[in-house]
Structure 1
Amino acid sequence: AQRHSGAAMAEQGRQRMADDRCNAGGTAEHARPGDPLRQHREEEVGRERGLHGALRLRRRVALLGHLGLQHVLRPPAAPLLGQGPAGARAEVPPHAGRAAGNYPMATMVYFQCVFAAITLILLAGSLLGRMNIRAWMIFVPLWLTFSYTIGAFSLWGGGFLFQWGVMDYSGGYVIHLSSGIAGFTAAYWVGPRSTKDRERFPPNNVLLMLAGAGILWMGWAGFNGGDPYAANLDSSIAVLNTNICAATSLLVWTSLDVIFFKKPSVIGAVQGMITGLVCITPGAGLVQGWAAIVMGILSGSIPWFTMMVVHKRSKLLQRVDDTLGVFHTHAVAGFLGGVTTGLFAEPTLCSMFVPVTNSRGAFYGGSGGMQLLKQVVGALFIVGWNVVVTSIICLV
């Protein structure tokens, strides 16, 4: 009975709408879909039948269709896990190689300036609390000119390591390995803090540290994602791998703290995050997601071992007062990232970034074994150059 009643009411509504159109000077079949009078009549009937919202929504969908925005409310069907249709609609070009981006030279100057600045900031962490500001003001331009610039040109600017095919996607060697080694070397020559300062050095503000860590993690997306100098597939992969490796490393470091110290540590979690970010930096846009997970596992465990175990047993590491542990979090993690990039660099991604054809990681066979050797040689050059130049600057 209810179904018959509802059908009767619907029929009455359609009949009344037709009568209203006829009374307005036209028949139902002559009324066009966009006719304002028809819309008004439909709205009047809709109010009485409780259909006012549905009719207004239908007209808005029609309006979006005229504007070419119909996919806003109803996207076209696509496979749940497939990427074909999505890739066809993507505005990010899948193959852009190292094509020059559309940006002024001033942008590149500032981008590289920030890279150089962060390297010195990291280096300063090894000398925190004991280097004279006047000496620091002399050290900065000398080290930038004779140490950082050489490494950056060799690996990024077309130097011999770049031409040879050594991979350093975003500064694992140029920034992190060099700052860790130079900071450790400078700390050796400057000497340690007082015994009181070394023994009583608790965290000053954990909340502020967490805020800085969050900003650092967020900014690292631009750090690694901006290095292709274009919005392409390579930059997208770099951002994803950066987050994957950092998250994995954080979890591994925290898990090790729980296993060996019976409780998690906020400071340890931040250190694990940093080592993960550093480790993925040399190969952020050159490895696949599964490799980023493996790199995160290694970066959360090996630097943890060198800091918690090796540091306490090594007389040299005990003698050198590396205030913030830059050697472990940046030098060790940066070297680890460069070597694992030589293992896991994917051939197709390498073709977008590396100037040497047929470059690949050792995991993919072929010339991959040679690539691993190149990564080790590149790391040794950065280590040796920074030890020599930093020592000369500190002694002279």
Structure 2
Amino acid sequence: MTTVPLAYQNNTSAAVTDWLNKGDNAWQMISATLVGLQSVPGLVILYGSIVKKKWAVNSAFMALYAFAAVLLCWVIWAYNMSFGDKLLPLWGKAKPALGQKFLIKQAALPATTHYYHNGSIETAMIEPYYPMASMVYFQCVFACITVILLAGSLLGRMNIKAWMLFVPLWLTFSYTVGAFSLWGGGFLFHWGVIDYSGGYVIHLSSGVGGFTAAYWVGPRSTKDRERFPPNNVLLMLAGAGLLWMGWAGFNGGDPYAANIDSSMAVLNTNICAATSLLVWTSLDVFFFKKPSVIGAVQGMITGLVCITPGAGLVQGWAAIVMGILSGSIPWFTMMIVHKRSSLLQKVDDTLGVFHTHAVAGFLGGALTGLFAEPTLCSLFLPVTNSRGGVYGGSGGAQFGKQIAGALFIIGWNLVVTSVICVVIKVVVPLRMPEEMLTIGDDAVHGEEAYALWGDGEKYDSTKHGWYSDDTQHNKVPSGVTLNV
């Protein structure tokens, strides 16, 4: 008879209960931290580097502020709206996730018990083998990165005070609805719409929400729209690398356990991302004769986004197919359709989040409806006998469910994001004043990213103030003044 070593037994201390699985708990906290690193410092670095240097501080700070603001709102009310007791078919009941009794008990998502039509249980409530504190933290970093991704549509002109109001409002009235509906036991969860790790909850919602908010905020200055070079390509790649590696926690943590499904998810994630990056780069070389580094990053992101709704549910060959499509279809919408569409041209989506997240997220969800493999589905999904369209049976219906789920997320975000922007506009302007748009970071924050003069804005000692290259030297300077 084999004796289990003491270190692997449960009752080694009062802090190790009978239900605690140390491996699952360790992986869940590691996964959460990897996702957190995607935002801070990942997207902080990426945003601060991919924009014009006069917006480096503002762009990085928008991400940093959102991470902190979402975290606090999450534990005070938003977690239970997303994963707590059902209030409505699309919403949970708001209440804090701060009490000791709540946080040290075994994790459970109470609205997730899945029933047959006759009332008998099909799939039991989700109850991972670690404490609620791990679940709250894991889900929190997903909420954080969603709002930060949305910010990519608004860089270089949104009033920072308006952004400070937008973050908690959008989290409360948009993100929590998508999270509960698809993950927390809402109507799309029980209907069987598949969103393994956030293709809809995170990427489609941030892409549509960002594009909608960009419409209401208005465009960047004309000069910035015409020329907006990254201020540091190497740092941009460092941020992108953190995003890619952090995706192991993003997709690998969503089975809520360190199991075989999480291993499949991590491998498929990397397969799809690499394929997508190579396809996007190849298209750039074929059509534009040069491999764009920014294009490679965009291809990487669309691959990561596309695989997310089906990461642990598709086979490796399907991950390659999804990578080919995610490297080509969003490329086509960004490089061809965007330039020919008056609507897409009118709305100033700074980093093209609509293409890299909304288009790629919708694509990934639809392809999951085709390629979700029955055996892998049985390891993860609450609806038994789920499968993608290529596997016959109920697969055709699954594809239809995927499209319907996407349309709900799109419609909800179009309406709710618009309402939020209109309400904020009553309180503070959504867009910065023109003089701030001319100067950038120093006018908004009183700080600059580099110990150099700004992006065409220089200090004139004879006038005791700033002027822009866009203005003649004999004009009175606008913006910030500085006495010397």
Category of TM-score, reference length = shorter chain: 0.7 to 0.9
For the Cα contact (< 8 Å) 1:98–1:228, is it kept in 2?
no
Which SS does the other structure have where 1:246 is aligned?
helix
Q: CA deviation at 1:100?
A: 3.5
Q: CA deviation at 1:101?
A: 3.1
Q: Residue in 2 aligned with 1:366? A: 393
Q: Residue in 2 aligned with 1:220? A: 247
For the Cα contact (< 8 Å) 1:122–1:179, is it kept in 2?
yes
Provide the aligned length of Structure 1 versus Structure 2. 303
- The answer to whether residue 231 in structure 2 is matched with residue 195 in structure 1 is no
Which SS does the other structure have where 1:353 is aligned?
coil
Which SS does the other structure have where 2:228 is aligned?
coil
| Deviations 1:2-28, CA, capped at 9 Å, x for gaps | xxxxxxxxxxxxxxxxxxxxxxxxxxx
Letter in 2 for 1:254: T
**Distance in 1 of aligned mates of 2:372 and 2:207:** 24
Q: Residue in 2 aligned with 1:247? A: 274
Q: Residue in 1 aligned with 2:13? A: none
**Distance in 2 of aligned mates of 1:146 and 1:112:** 17
Q: CA deviation at 1:281?
A: 0.3
Q: Residue in 1 aligned with 2:166? A: 139
Q: Residue in 2 aligned with 1:204? A: 231
- Among 323, 335, 357, the residue aligned to 1:296: 323
- Among 252, 255, 262, the residue aligned to 2:289: 262
Equivalences for residues 43-82 of structure 1 within 5 A: none
Q: CA deviation at 1:107?
A: 1.1
**Distance in 2 of aligned mates of 1:110 and 1:329:** 26
**Distance in 2 of aligned mates of 1:284 and 1:183:** 24
| Deviations 1:153-189, CA, capped at 9 Å, x for gaps | 0000000000000000000000000000000000001
**Distance in 1 of aligned mates of 2:201 and 2:129:** 25
Which SS does the other structure have where 2:411 is aligned?
helix
Q: Residue in 2 aligned with 1:338? A: 365
Ranges in structure 1 where 5+ consecutive residues have no aligned partner: 1-90
- The answer to whether residue 209 in structure 2 is matched with residue 182 in structure 1 is yes
Q: Residue in 1 aligned with 2:379? A: 352
| Deviations 1:79-117, CA, capped at 9 Å, x for gaps | xxxxxxxxxxxx99xxxx996432221111111111011
Superposed structure 1 runs of 4+ greater than 2 Å apart: 97-102
Larger deviation, residues 106-115 vs 371-380:
106-115
**Distance in 1 of aligned mates of 2:201 and 2:389:** 22
Q: Residue in 1 aligned with 2:355? A: 328
**Distance in 2 of aligned mates of 1:118 and 1:196:** 29
Q: Residue in 2 aligned with 1:229? A: 256
- Among 115, 121, 146, the residue aligned to 2:148: 121
Q: Which has the larger radius of gyration?
A: 1
Q: Residue in 1 aligned with 2:415? A: 388
Q: CA deviation at 1:147?
A: 0.6
For the Cα contact (< 8 Å) 1:98–1:353, is it kept in 2?
no
TM-score norm. by structure 1 comes to 0.75
**Distance in 1 of aligned mates of 2:303 and 2:363:** 10
Letter in 1 for 2:236: M
For the Cα contact (< 8 Å) 1:100–1:230, is it kept in 2?
no
Which SS does the other structure have where 1:308 is aligned?
helix
Cα 1:262–1:356 change in 2 (3 A) is same
Letter in 1 for 2:175: Y
**Distance in 2 of aligned mates of 1:358 and 1:113:** 31
What's the Cα RMSD here?
A: 1.6
Q: Whose helix proportion is higher, 1 or 2? A: 1
Which SS does the other structure have where 1:321 is aligned?
coil
Give the share of equivalent positions with the same residue, in percent. 87
**Distance in 2 of aligned mates of 1:195 and 1:99:** 51
**Distance in 2 of aligned mates of 1:122 and 1:128:** 11
- Among 196, 199, 217, the residue aligned to 1:172: 199
**Distance in 1 of aligned mates of 2:221 and 2:292:** 27
Letter in 2 for 1:165: G
Ranges in structure 2 where 5+ consecutive residues have no aligned partner: 1-22, 25-123, 424-484
**Distance in 1 of aligned mates of 2:385 and 2:129:** 28
Q: Residue in 2 aligned with 1:281? A: 308
Q: Residue in 2 aligned with 1:153? A: 180
